[in-house]
Amino acid sequence: MNSPKKFVVIGPESTGKSTLCLKLAEHFQTLWVPEYARQYLEEHGKDYTYEDLLTIAKGQVALEEEGMDKAGGIHREIFIDTDMYVMKVWCEYVFGRCHTYILNTIAERHYDGYLLCNVDLPWVKDDLREYPDEKIRRALFRYYREILTGQSTPWAEIGGGYDERLEKAIDFVSRISGRGR
């Protein structure tokens, strides 16, 4: 079996990215890569700097590589919660600039599909989350959509309730992976 197809789930905070990754991994009986930022901020606190975002970006890439090694030739798909596009948005939104490492990594890494989670789920408070304001969430969502429309990897917007999101995501992944439901 070849390397697994890599699907990245991106979007603003509190849009069900981790839940969707978990459910997709269960459905397709495979692995998923969690968001490294959560682990980092839980260990170091949520007062982060621009340099911390570089550390987080490198940690995310390392987690993804570890997940790919585990998936090896065993699994057809792997689901990744967050990639360098998320890091780019985070850097630019918070600090008005982005690390060269992140931009170079975006250019170097290949994915088979993106799932962009809409902000139509209710906000869930979490000590690590920063932007509950609906206007900010919508602006960030538009920013992600603009990024995805400007690149060539297939992507799908995922919205609705949790069950509807999962069904849309399964359909998209199945189509890209060339497998039936």
0.85 surpassed by pTM: yes
pLDDT in tens, 120-178: 987 767 766 666 678 999 999 999 999 999 999 999 999 999 999 999 999 999 999 98
Q: State yes or no: pLDDT of 90 exceeds 80.
A: yes
DSSP states along 155-180: EEEE-SSHHHHHHHHHHHHHHHHT--
CATH (one of 3.40.50.300, 3.40.50.620, 3.40.225.10, 3.30.559.10) for 5-177: 3.40.50.300
Strands 155-158 and 5-10: unpaired
Q: Which of 51, 59, 66, 100 is nearest to 83 (CA)?
A: 59
Domain boundaries defined on the chain:
5-177
User: Rounded to an integer, what distance in angstroms lies between the CA atom of residue 44 and that of residue 138?
Assistant: 28
